[in-house]
Amino acid sequence: MLTQLISVEPATGAILWQGEAGDADAAVANARQAWPTWAALPLTKRIEAVRRYSNRIRTQSEQLSELIARETGKPIWESRTEVEAVINKIDISVRAYAERTAQRQLPSQPNMRAAMRHKPHGVLAVLGPYNFPAHLPNGHIVPALIAGNVVVFKPSEKTPAVGAFLVDAFSKSGLPDGVVNILQGGPDVGKALTANDDIDGVLFTGSAQTGVALNRQFASRPDKILALEMGGNNPIIVWDTDDIHSAAVLVVQSAFLSAGQRCSAASRMIVKDELYDRVVKEVKRIADRLIIDEPFSKPAPFMGPVIDNEVADGLTESFLALMTHGGRPIKHMARPLDERPFLTPGIIDVTDMEERPDIELFGPILQVIRVPDFESAIAEANNTRYGLSAALIGGSAKQYDQFWSNSRAGIVNWNKMTVGASSEAPFGGIGLSGNHRPSAFYAADYCAYPVVSMEAEQTRASIGIGLKDED
C-alpha cells in the first residue's frame, strides 16, 4: 500500500511533490455533509462558482501548464493546450447541461403540467489517469458540479501535484468546503474509495484492466452510476492517396503525439499492399526526424518521455516480445538515456505474426499490417476487443462510407488523425473502451438522472369505465 506518495519529474528525475496518501472514508464523509446545500443552490449559483474556478485557472494558466509539463514530461506547448481545454470545459459544460439535461415542459392534457427535470446523484468518486491529469478529471468534475453533485477526486498516483493544484483552485474560488475533495493515493486508496457504500457513483478514466475490475465490483450495484472511459487499440488505415507525405504525417501524429500516451492514439497502421513501401518509408523518415526531449528544451520537442521508467521498461519489453513472436522491426525503439524514460518511436511490421496481442501498448509503438484489399483492411481495423477511435487516410468517398458503416469505434475519421477529438462532441468508445456512457459533451448525461412529473393544481379524478352503479 502506498502511504507516502512521491512524484518524480520523468524528464529530469527531480522530486516534484511528496505527500501522504489520504483517508477515503473521511473524504466521502466530508463530501456527504456538503452535498445537500450544494444540490439545493440555484443552478446559476453553481455555474457562477465554476466560472470563478475557470477564471482562476486562466490567471494561473502558465503555472499550471508548467506543472503539467514537469509532472508528465509532455512538451510545454502541449501542456498549454491541455490548460486551454480545462478552461474551455466550463462554457461547454454549461451548454451541455442546458442541451442534454435542462428542465423541459412536456405535452400534456388540459388542467395539468408534465415536466422533466434532472437531479444530481449525490457524492461522486472521480478517478483520474496520468496522461491528461488536468483535462480529463476536470471533464468529469465540472459537469458533475454543475448538475449538483459533490466530488471526491483521486488523481493518478503518478500526477498528484496537478490533482492538488486543481482542487486548490476550486477551494480558492469560493466553493464551499467539502464540494470538491482531494484524495491522494494509489490503487489501494482508489479501492477504498469505490468500496465506500456512501458514494453514489464512480466516474473513471483509465485502463481497461481497472475499468473491468470496477465493472465487476459494481455488477450487483445497479443503484450506482458507473462511467468508464478506457483505453484503445486504435487502427489507422492508409489507402489510395496522391499525397503520401500528408498521409504519413497524419499517421505519425496519431501514433506518437504525447509519446503515444493518448487513449485515441493509433497503435495499428493498416496499409494497402501496393502503397506499403512508399508509406512505410515516409512514416519512418518523419519519425526519424521527431525531436524527443525535455518539456522546456529548445528547439521545442515533438514529444517528451513516457511517464516513468517502469512504463518505459514495459514498452521496450513489449517491442522485443513482438519481435520474438514474428514481428519485423522497421524502426527500433531505443532508450537514449538508461536512467530516464525517454523512448524513440518504435515501428514494427506484425503482418506475419500468427497471433497478435490485442492489448493497449500505451506508448510510442506503431504496429504495421499490410492487406490486399479494402475488405481486409476493415476486418483488420475491427480485429480488436477495443473500439475507441479509427481513421481512414485516403480512399474514396464510397470507401469512407463503407468504413464508417462497418468500423466499430466511437470516433471514426477521414483524412484526419485518430487523436485530437473536440470537447464539443461526445467522447467514448465501445467494446473494452467504455461502458456506453461517453464523456465530454455527453458527460452531462451521467451526472444527473431524469425525473418526470405530472402536476395538477387541483385534486380532481373520476373512473369512467368498469364501475358498478351505486345502490
Minimum CB separation from ligand NAD for residue 464, in Å? 54
**Contact between 357 and ligand NAD per CB under 6 A:** no
Q: Does 187 bind ligand NAD (CB under 6 A)?
A: yes
Nearest one of 398, 404, 352 to 382, comparing CA atoms: 404
Q: Would you say 141 or 280 has its CB closer to ligand NAD?
A: 141
Nearer to ligand NAD, 31 or 280 (CB): 31
Check binding of 233 to ligand NAD (CB under 6 A): no
Cβ 265 to ligand NAD, closest distance in Å?
A: 8
Residue type, 446: Y
Q: Nearest 5°: phi and psi at 2?
A: -80, 110
Q: Any contact of residue 127 with ligand NAD (CB under 6 A)?
A: yes
Q: Which residue from 239, 362, 374, 446 is in contact with ligand NAD, where contact means CB under 6 A? A: 362
CA–CA separation, 344 and 330 (whole Å): 13
Catalytic residues, by residue number, are 229
Specify the residue, 180 or 371, whose C-beta has the smaller distance to ligand NAD: 180
Using CB under 6 A as the binding rule, whether residue 128 contacts ligand NAD is answered as yes
User: Residue 220 Cβ, how far from ligand NAD at the closest point, in Å?
Assistant: 17
Measured at the CA of 252, the angle between CA 262 and CA 382, to 5 degrees, comes to: 65
147: its cell numbers: 448538475
CB contact at 8 A, 420 and 84: no
Helices (H), 218-360: 244-256, 276-289, 309-324
Q: Closest CB to ligand NAD among 155 and 301?
A: 155
> Which burial class, exposed, middle or buried, applies to 252 when counting CB atoms under 10 A from its CB (0-12, 13-18, 19+)?
buried
User: Which amino acid belongs to residue 237?
Assistant: I
Any contact of residue 342 with ligand NAD (CB under 6 A)?
A: no
- Residue from 11, 64, 136, 371 touching ligand NAD (CB under 6 A): that is 136
Question: What is the closest distance, in whole angstroms, from the C-beta atom of residue 112 to ligand NAD in the complex?
Answer: 43
Query: With respect to ligand NAD, which residue has the nearer C-beta, 136 or 269?
Result: 136
* Cell numbers for 71: 509532472
Does 231 sit near ligand NAD (CB under 6 A)?
A: yes
Count residues near ligand NAD (CB under 6 A): 28
Q: Provide the minimum distance between the beta carbon of 138 and ligand NAD in the complex, in angstroms, as a whole number.
A: 12
Sheet holding 448-455, edge to edge: 104-106, 113-120, 448-455
- DSSP assignment of 207-231, as one string? -HHHHHHHHHHTTT-TTSEEEEE--
Q: Are 144 and 444 in contact (CB under 8 A)?
A: no
Measured from the CB of residue 459, what is the shortest distance to ligand NAD in angstroms?
A: 50
Q: Which is nearer to ligand NAD, 187 or 326 (CB)?
A: 187
Taking the least distance from each CB to ligand NAD, the nearer of 183 and 322 is 183
Q: How far is the CB of 216 from ligand NAD (least distance, A)?
A: 10
Q: Residue 222: is the preceding peptide bond cis (ω within 30°)?
A: no
Note whether 229 binds ligand NAD by CB under 6 A: yes
Give residue number: closest CB to ligand NAD. Answer: 190
Q: How far apart are CA 411 and CA 392, in angstroms?
A: 11
**Best CA proximity match to 353, nearest among 393, 380, 391:** 380
**Cα gap 244→326, rounded to integer Å:** 27
How many C-beta atoms surround the C-beta of residue 14 within 10 A? 10
**Does 351 interact with ligand NAD (rule: CB under 6 A)?**
no
Minimum separation from the CB atom of position 299 to ligand NAD (A): 28
Of 138-157, binders to ligand NAD (CB under 6 A) are: 154, 156-157
- Whether residue 405 contacts residue 382, with contact meaning beta carbons closer than 8 Å, is answered with no
Q: Is residue 360 close enough to count as binding ligand NAD by CB under 6 A?
A: yes
Candidates 38, 53, 97, 130; binder of ligand NAD (CB under 6 A) is 130
β 448-455/113-120 pair status: antiparallel
Rule CB under 6 A: say whether 29 interacts with ligand NAD. no
| Cβ neighbours, 10 Å, residue 189 | 23
Q: Which of residues 238-267 bind ligand NAD (CB under 6 A)?
A: 263
Cβ 169 to ligand NAD shortest distance, Å: 19
Residues 421-440 contacting ligand NAD, CB under 6 A: 439
With CB under 6 A as the contact rule, the residue among 73, 120, 178, 206 that binds ligand NAD is 206
What phi and psi, each to the nearest 5 degrees, are found at residue 338? -55, -40
**Is the CB of 214 or the CB of 377 nearer to ligand NAD?**
214
CA-based nearest residue to 215, from 198, 201, 231: 201
Across-strand partners of 449? 119
Q: Contacting ligand NAD (CB under 6 A), which of 41, 116, 213, 359?
A: 213
Q: Does 186 bind ligand NAD (CB under 6 A)?
A: yes
Residue 70, Ramachandran bin (φ over 0: left; ψ between -120 and 50: alpha; else beta): alpha
Under DSSP, is residue 61 helix (H, G, I), strand (E, B) or coil? helix
**Binding site residues, ligand NAD, CB under 6 A:** 127-132, 136, 154, 156-157, 186-187, 190-191, 194, 205-207, 210, 213, 229-232, 263, 360, 362, 439
